[in-house]
Amino acid sequence: MAMAGSDGLRRFLGIPYRQIDNVWSFAAQGERMSLDVRTVVLLGSLLAAALALILVCAQSHYARLLRESMNLWVRGLLALLLAQVLFGLRDMAHDLLSIVLANTLTAAAFVGFALSVRRYLGIKSQTWPLWLPVVLIAAMMYVFTALLPGYVARVMVFSLGLSWILALLLRPLAGSLRRGGPVGQQVVAVTVVILIVTVLVRMLLLALGPAPVAGLLDGSVVNTVALTYMSLVPVLTTVGFLLMCNERLMDDTVRLSTVDVLTGAYSRRALTELSERALAEARRYRRPLSVLMIDADHFKQVNDTYGHSAGDAVLVEIMARLKATLRTEDFVGRIGGEEFLVVLPATPEEEAVRVASRIRERIAGATLVYGREEIPFTVSIGVAERDPGEANIDLLIKRADDAMYAAKRSGRNRVFAASAIDAVAR
């Protein structure tokens, strides 16, 4: 039956017998490789077990979302571990275990890897396209094992089903293959691409071969090479996945050093660097530059009356209303408990005062509903523009800070310009 099917397939594809026979004579019917296939498969199971143990031990060092992704990956490795053990017991264990269950577990393992990648990337989508080929593989493996035994038919079913799953695994990683993409994602993607090619080439060579194949443990070149690479895939993909987790950890570390966790505003350190850069550009191109010092009014009273969590909600709301008012080229940093600094490139003081007034009105115009309480809050804003030749960002910020305190003294919920203070001083 297998021979008749392969002859029909070759006639359908129009492949001359001599060409495929020459390929097959080397790939499948040439000298047997001395490497024992059963040993290769069982060695792969040991590698999968070691990798699963490493991931379990490493989970505590990562954030919750990464731990969830790692748990899915570990489940995939454990499924692959059991599958490879069952493959290694071929001809010793029952065929329903060493063939049907082993192939089904292998497909399910790569579904676990695909789900792990999706969780890592924050992709929410239906999972049935991943599980459908697993169900089909299980059903067809039973048919071609218990009802219509045929090794080549099983290889074709498994290869096509696994390629389906691998293509879905690869899809969200495809963008990483461009130059400069994340290295960890590239490692996983390239490994998966090679695996798809490997299983499909093995399927074609076995299906089009002129002579029957002994089975999974056949020592032919194509069989041994394909199974050896499939045993290495868990190692390569897990290394890539660990690189992905470490890259995310490094990104989070950088983000925490540059962004305020609560509000999403720039941290004081990052804001200082951005402000100095903006001041240098303003001096170089002789452009205006203004800053706004913003302070929440009666913030201690908010904390004392409604609680610190309510105070945090007020700060988050202030930041949201700032972002809704400012331009994309403007940037905001949180420099104290309830103080924010806004840098306005290419903006003279007159325009900066208008921006500050819009901010003040937007914040004062609506209360924050927190729990069952309505919390009113306002801000006082100081405005300062860079003086000609001014090269010290700290002096510019100090003038805006003085203007903000002048707004506080004059009754709060006000905008005060540094030039007004300078005029009074003169």
pLDDT reading at 274 higher than 60: yes
Apex 189 CA angle, 13 and 205, nearest 5: 25
Give me the pLDDT at residue 26, please.
43
Give me the pLDDT at residue 41, please.
66
pLDDT reading at 191 higher than 80: yes
Assigned token pair, 322: 């700032």
pLDDT reading at 407 higher than 90: yes
Reported residue count of the chain is 426
The answer to whether residues 84 and 44 touch, using CB atoms and an 8 Å cutoff, is yes
- 239 residue type, one letter: V
Give me the pLDDT at residue 28, please.
46
Higher pLDDT: 18 or 313? It is: 313
CATH level 3 topology of 268-425: Alpha-Beta Plaits (3.30.70)
The answer to whether residues 111 and 165 touch, using CB atoms and an 8 Å cutoff, is yes
How many Å apart are CA 169 and CA 285, to the nearest integer?
50
Beta-sheet pairing, 289-296 with 339-345: antiparallel
Computed over every residue of the chain, the mean pLDDT equals: 84
CATH level 3 topology of 2-249: Rhopdopsin 7-helix transmembrane proteins (1.20.1070)
What phi and psi, each to the nearest 5 degrees, are found at residue 267? -70, 170
Q: What is the pLDDT of residues 90-139, one digit of tens each?
A: 778 898 998 999 999 999 999 999 999 999 998 888 899 999 999 999 99
Q: List the beta strands (DSSP E) in 269-314.
A: 289-296
Give me the pLDDT at residue 215, please.
61
CA 165, 170, 171, 172: dihedral to nearest 10 degrees? 120
Q: What is the pLDDT of residues 9-38, one digit of tens each?
A: 445 445 454 444 444 444 444 444 455 666
CATH 3.30.70.270 domain extents, the chain: 268-425
CATH 1.20.1070 domain extents, the chain: 2-249
Give me the pLDDT at residue 218, please.
60
pLDDT reading at 42 higher than 80: no
pLDDT reading at 372 higher than 90: no
Place of tokens 């695994």: 169
Place of tokens 């199974």: 227
Write out the DSSP string of 35-103: S-HHHHHHHHHHHHHHHHHHHHHHGGGS-HHHHHHHHHHHHHHHHHHHHHHHHHTTTTS-HIIIIIIHH
Q: Give the global pTM.
A: 0.65
DSSP type of residue 342: E
pLDDT reading at 214 higher than 80: no
Nearest to 368 by CA among 414, 311, 419: 311
With a CB cutoff of 8 Å and minimum separation 6, the contacts of 304 are none
How many Å apart are CA 94 and CA 300, to the nearest integer?
73
Q: Which residues pair with 334 in a beta bridge?
A: 340
Nearest to 77 by CA among 91, 59, 99: 59
- Mean pLDDT, residues 401-424 taken together: 87
* High-pLDDT (> 70) share of the chain, %: 85
Quickly state the pLDDT bin for 216 (edges 50, 70, 90).
low
How many Å apart are CA 254 and CA 235, to the nearest integer?
29
**Treating both helix axes as pointing N-terminal to C-terminal, what angle do 221-258 and 268-285 enclose, rounded to 10 degrees?**
80
How many Å apart are CA 220 and CA 238, to the nearest integer?
28
Q: What is the pLDDT of residues 134-187, one digit of tens each?
A: 999 999 999 999 999 988 889 899 999 999 999 999 999 998 888 778 899 999
Give first-to-last CA distance, the chain, whole Å: 104
